[in-house]
Amino acid sequence: MAQAVLKKRSKKAGLPPGALVHIGERKAEVMKASVMDYDEKNCSETTLTDLDLCISLRGKPSVTWVDIEGVHDIQALEKIGLCFGLHPLVMEDILNTDQRPKIEDYGDYLYIVLRMLTSGSETDEISSEQVSLILGENFVISVQEGAKGDVFDPVRNRIRNGKGQLRKLGADYLAYSLIDAVVDNYFIILEKIGERVEWLEETLVSNPAPEALHLIHNLKREMIYLRKSVWPLREVVSGMQRRDSTLIRESTGYYLRDVYDHTIQVIDTIETFRDMLSGMLDIYLSSISNRTNAVMKVLTVIATIFIPLTWIVGIYGMNFKNMPELEWHYGYLASWVAMIGVALGMVIYFKKKKWW
């Protein structure tokens, strides 16, 4: 994820605005455009193979959802863009897959950028995919980068089985449903991260290993990244709510407020994790230093006790002619008594001072 800080935008520098160049890594082999067309009674699903037919999707009274996976086939995308009358800048933004979440009003349609996060089931690596939504009068176009799998299956199922309100309400409600699916998915990501944070916290108390520092650091960077992905979403959703565009019906407003709440909650949780990680860094650093201090102290105490003893034995290793103690019968014993006395005295002193 570290590499995702900045994608290679340099190949775009100098090109005119609206120039269509795919920026980002190629996630899908073939572009796939699946179409769902539904109203309250009927629902049809097709795959758009001949893009010239896309014109037939326009002007229908039913709601049309064109879901495109893969953004590297620039000609195909351009055809769709022309068919739905999209502005060249929208087309450009769809292809630049390192956009931050945003909303732009183009009069006839709203252009919304989201970031869909997925966390590999085997690894903890979080990967991020750009989702562009175009919400028109009675159509929604969603463009994904094309990584395998997405979070929209529940929405598809709800359209298919016709339960709930989705089929009854318009394109704006579909757009809301897609955004809601993306935000709901953030909670799953955050739960996984939460588990890692808690595991790390327990580990830290029991065994503050140097690896912990790198784990904390990695989690901190993921938090920076998540924050960058989610924070602007707040503005996007509140922008949809406030907007006096006729594209968003008033009844959808309540639902958008709900997504807004969820977004705030995600941001709150990210901030809490950040605070916790900062606290853990403090704990880690002071644990390490406590531990080192404890070791050093004990070792120093041992050294300090033996240094005077070594001096004592040194005294009686001197070769002076006239050293009366050496002649005494109990001289050796006396030196042992003296040494044990000094050692005991120091131990008691250290214990009293709580140095040991």
Task: Tell me the C-alpha to C-alpha distance, in Å, between residue 282 and each of 129, 207, 218, 235, 291.
Answer: 34, 15, 16, 33, 14
355 forms part of the interface with its own copies (CB under 8 A) = yes
Tokens of 39: 């109203």
* 120 lies in the binding site for its own copies (CB under 8 A): no
Tell which one of 149, 165, 340, 351 touches its own copies (CB under 8 A): 165
**Among the listed residues 13, 121, 122, 206, the single contact to its own copies using CB under 8 A:** 13
x/- letters, 127..156, toward its own copies (CB under 8 A): ------------------------x-xx--
Element (H, E) at 105: strand 102-105
Say which residue the tokens 């890692």 belong to.
196
**What is the total count of residues that contact its own copies (CB under 8 A)?**
116
- Output the smallest distance, CB 56 to its own copies, in A: 28
**Applying CB under 8 A, does 253 fall inside the site for its own copies?**
no
The total number of residues shown for the chain amounts to 356
Instruction: Check binding of 300 to its own copies (CB under 8 A).
Output: yes
Neighbours of 241 (CB within 10 A): 16
CB of 262 to its own copies, least distance (A): 9
**For its own copies, which residue of 58, 87, 196, 234 counts as binding (CB under 8 A)?**
87
Task: Based on the shown chain and the rule CB under 8 A, indicate whether residue 344 belongs to the binding site for its own copies.
Answer: no
8 Å CB contact between 233 and 183? yes
Q: Give 136-203 as a DSSP string.
A: -SSEEEEEE---S--S-HHHHHHHHH--SSTTTS-HHHHHHHHHHHHHHHHHHHHHHHHHHHHHHHHH
In the set 127, 185, 238, 245, which binds its own copies (CB under 8 A)? Answer: 185
Q: Does 248 bind its own copies (CB under 8 A)?
A: no
116 exposure class (CB count in 10 Å sphere: 0-12, 13-18, 19+): buried
- Looking at residue 16, the DSSP 8-state letter turns out to be P
Contact status: 337 vs its own copies (CB under 8 A): no
Q: Is the CB of 48 or the CB of 276 nearer to its own copies?
A: 276
Question: Which residue, 146 or 232, has its beta carbon nearer to its own copies?
Answer: 232
Under rule CB under 8 A, residue 199 binds its own copies: no
User: Taking contact as CB under 8 A, which single stretch among the options 32-40, 76-84, 119-127, 198-206 is the one that binds its own copies?
Assistant: 198-206
Please identify which residue in 92, 129, 172, 222 interacts with its own copies, judged by CB under 8 A. 92
| Amino acid found at 316 | Y
Beta strand 139-144 with 126-135 is antiparallel
What gap in Å lies between CA 326 and CA 223, rounded to an integer? 74
Residue (37 or 92) nearer to its own copies, CB: 92
Among 75, 121, 206, 310, binds its own copies (CB under 8 A): 310
Q: Which of 59, 85, 149, 279 binds its own copies (CB under 8 A)?
A: 279
